[in-house]
Amino acid sequence: MKFGVVRFPGSCDDVDALTAAERVGEAIMLWHAERELHGVDAVIVPGGFSYGDYLRAGAIARFAPVMEEVAEFAADGGLVLGICNGFQVLCEAGLLPGALLPNVSLRFVCRQVELQVVDAGSAFTAACEPGERLSIPVKHTTGRYYSPRPVRVLLRYAPGENPNGSQDDIAGVCNERGNVFGLMPHPEHAVDPLTGSTDGLKIFESMRAQLGDRVAV
């Protein structure tokens, strides 16, 4: 299967996302100004500071030409993963419910956090056990998830681990249909023992397992 990683001006985790995806399949970069997904089987909207985070994080990126294609891809049931800034972009685009607010601490947090898999029945978490703990880093200033309505939560910060004050310790949510997932932690930074954890690979492996069987590699 082939992953596509969207690169905006200001993306900075695009190469890590590409490298992580390449551990489980093929991966190519997608350019923000192109209305073209080049036949990828799954889309990753990576972390960073797209368009400088001007106005609000993700507010400008959602209008990028490539996002029209991503929205259409998601509407057709395609798997879309948004990481950190990518999560913010997907919320601003209305592909995921809720919004990300500044951390309660008003500080940039950059550290390893423990997550709990609260829903292992999704296309993004099927490689995990229910209740399994994952060690994955966060690094953000605007990660306090908020939604006025109930949402489908896939990952929570483990007790005492919430780095940003998010509602109900929410770390990652998916849409009702289950094909769009956003999370603040960075699974693409936890794919090699050299950096302390390979737990992030499970997200990419889950996607691969969901698609791999029916897509020729």
Partner 1 sequence: MRARVLVRPKAGILDPQGQAVERALPALGFVGVRNVHVGRLIELDVDDPARLPEMCERLLANPLIEEYEILTAAQSAAAGDRPR
Q: Where in the sequence numbering do the catalytic residues fall?
A: 84, 186, 188
Q: Which is nearer to partner 1, 9 or 212 (CB)?
A: 9
Interface residues with partner 1 (CB under 8 A) are: 55-56, 59, 63, 92, 98-99, 101-106, 146-148, 165
- Say how far apart CA 76 and CA 186 lie, in whole Å: 26
Q: Which is nearer to partner 1, 32 or 56 (CB)?
A: 56
Minimum distance of partner 1 from residue 161's CB (angstroms): 19
Concatenating the DSSP letter of every residue in 172-217 gives EEE-TTS-EEEESS-GGGSSBGGGTB-TTHHHHHHHHHHHHTTS--
Alpha helix positions (H), the chain: 14-22, 65-75, 85-92, 201-212
- Alpha carbon 109 to its chain centroid, in Å, reads 17
Q: Is 24 left (phi over 0), alpha (psi -120 to 50) or beta?
A: alpha
